[in-house]
Amino acid sequence: MFTNVIVRVPSKSVVDGISSSNEGKPNYGLALKQHEEYVSALTKAGVNVTVLEPNDDFPDSCFVEDVALCTKKCVIITRPGAASRQKEAALQDMQEALKKFYEHIEYIEAPGTVEAGDIMMVGDHFYIGESARTNRAGAEQMIAILEKYGLSGSIVPLKEVLHLKTGLAYLENNNLLVAGEFITSPVFEKLNKIEISPDEAYGANCIWVNDHVLVPAGYPNAQKAIEGLGYKVLVVDTSEFRKIDGGLSCLSLRF
């Protein structure tokens, strides 16, 4: 179960966020509205939400998931692979928010890079995607830290997606949404894989929060599959964040 969530309000500079989507720039006003609805959905799922102020110096800083991995034993401050994001984790308000909840704080150090969008928690095990943003050195550091606290990790090389959780979502109860390259991956054979079709691949980025699942708007087949598993679904529009390579999981730290 999750008790707390940290989010950051999008700044006006969000329109200049890193993007490979070719869908144009986000509408700032609409992004703000969608973010408010996201926070509202999280609240409905029964968590306390800490809302950090926008920071114009970092266009991608609303994607707080990438800058820290929150576990039940410690928080690990990452070192994002995107150079423009490497100082986000050091922002004072983020540091203060994390220190409020965690006694044990660890850090990924150069030459390692890690973005926590590449990390999926399944119980006490953490799958770590080796990607353009998370390198082998960073993944190995992450595993060493996890093991220090009695947790475990393993590396999953990525071929096509930006982040591991771009195409995966663990919904607890052994259920795993899979899209793209992960459909045929032998790594997750022990889990109950729910396949998301290529035309709805973005819909695979959902988040489980206390028996609720937040699902992006506009992916009816993915939504139906999740509802069929018995979850309470909360639909949230993330169209403006999709334009800058972001999804539901990217927008929060959940612990």
Q: What does each C-alpha distance from 205 to 54, 125, 137, 177, 224 come to in angstroms? A: 24, 19, 26, 8, 15
- Torsion sign across C-alpha atoms 123, 125, 131, 133: positive
Query: Residue 21: which residues within 8 A CB-CB, separation 6 or more?
Result: 242, 243, 244, 245
User: Which entry of 62, 70, 206, 250 is annotated as an active-site residue?
Assistant: 250
- Is residue 163 part of the annotated active site? The answer reads yes
- Is residue 70 part of the annotated active site? The answer reads no
Is the peptide bond prior to 54 cis by the omega test (within 30 degrees of 0)?
Answer: no
Token duo for residue 198: 């290529």
User: Are residues 63 and 80 in contact, defined by beta-carbon separation less than 8 angstroms?
Assistant: no
User: Which entry of 62, 163, 206, 212 is annotated as an active-site residue?
Assistant: 163
Query: Residue 167: which residues within 8 A CB-CB, separation 6 or more?
Result: 160, 161, 178, 179, 180, 181, 182, 201, 204, 205
Q: Quickly count: other Cβ atoms within 10 Å of residue 122's Cβ.
A: 14
Catalytic residues, by residue number, are: 163, 250
